[in-house]
Amino acid sequence: MNDFFITGTDTDCGKTYVTCALLRDLRRRGYEAAGLKPVACGDRADPRAMREAMGNPALDLNIINPVYLRAATAPFIAAQLEGKELSAAGLAQTYKEMRGQYAPILVEGAGGWEAPVAPGETMADLAVALGLPVILVVGNKLGAVNHALLTLQGIRARGLECRAIVLNHSMEEWDAASVTNRQLIEQFSEVPVCAELIRGQVEIDSQAVLGI
């Protein structure tokens, strides 16, 4: 299976930034790649960026982002505020409906690995329902090693494979942590950091990250 679930160590670690970079490179290489954000909260900037990366500005945004909730908070709370009910199975169904139309599909979660989605369910349950290999985006900053290792523990505990790690450096200046994070993450996780993006970098080697 060449579809992937993209998660991150926390909110604003660069999941969409990395997803869009992957989509642009896949499209450049001739793939009919698509991004899917099953649920977005607060605004639809992420799915709009995915649509732009796909090079299809006329595509109905509801295809890329089937569930949009106005409150900028966890999907569970945002849905409650609108009197709606979410479920991991329901969100996974949006992926199944897209299959056959695009390949590969990059499914991006909302927030971090354990962001609440429904009573007793988090983004991790969505990942399990999808059953896809995981790409972990790590914000390259102080504390990144701890966040990466904890998230990897969660991925493995759910019986899923973390195919690759992408290190995303969103700050202008580099400190001791950002310089050494890659080495430590690879050493302690035994998962390769297949790409490292510096601030402003828009290109990525999708083959190195996804293996396709």
Instruction: Give the whole-angstrom CA distance, residue 204 versus residue 11.
Output: 21
- Span 140-175, pLDDT tens digits: 999 999 999 999 999 999 999 999 999 999 887 788
pLDDT of res. 174: 84
Structure-token pair, residue 126? 């969505």
Instruction: Give the whole-angstrom CA distance, residue 134 versus residue 42.
Output: 25
Exposed, middle or buried by CB within 10 Å (0-12, 13-18, 19+), for 140?
A: buried
**pTM of the full structure:** 0.96
Q: Strand runs (DSSP E) across 61-140, as ranges? A: 67-69, 105-108, 116-118, 121-122, 134-139
Which one of the listed residues 37, 84, 96, 141 is annotated catalytic? Answer: 37
Whether 182 and 191 have beta carbons less than 8 Å apart is answered as no
Instruction: Give the whole-angstrom CA distance, residue 28 versus residue 139.
Output: 26
- How far is CA 133 from its chain centroid? 11
Pick out the chain residues at pLDDT < 70. 1
Instruction: Give the whole-angstrom CA distance, residue 41 versus residue 192.
Output: 31
Instruction: Give the whole-angstrom CA distance, residue 126 versus residue 150.
Output: 18
Token pair 């396709």 is found at 212
pLDDT of res. 172: 76
3-state secondary structure of 78: helix
Instruction: Give the whole-angstrom CA distance, residue 130 versus residue 199.
Output: 31
Residue ranges per domain, the chain? 4-210
Whether 182 and 189 have beta carbons less than 8 Å apart is answered as no
CATH of 4-210, one of 3.40.50.300, 1.20.120.1200, 3.40.50.9100, 3.40.50.720: 3.40.50.300
pLDDT of res. 191: 94
What are the Cα distances from residue 148, in Å, to 69, 70, 82, 110? 28, 29, 33, 17
141 is catalytic: no
pLDDT of res. 1: 63
pLDDT of res. 141: 93
Whether 92 and 131 have beta carbons less than 8 Å apart is answered as no
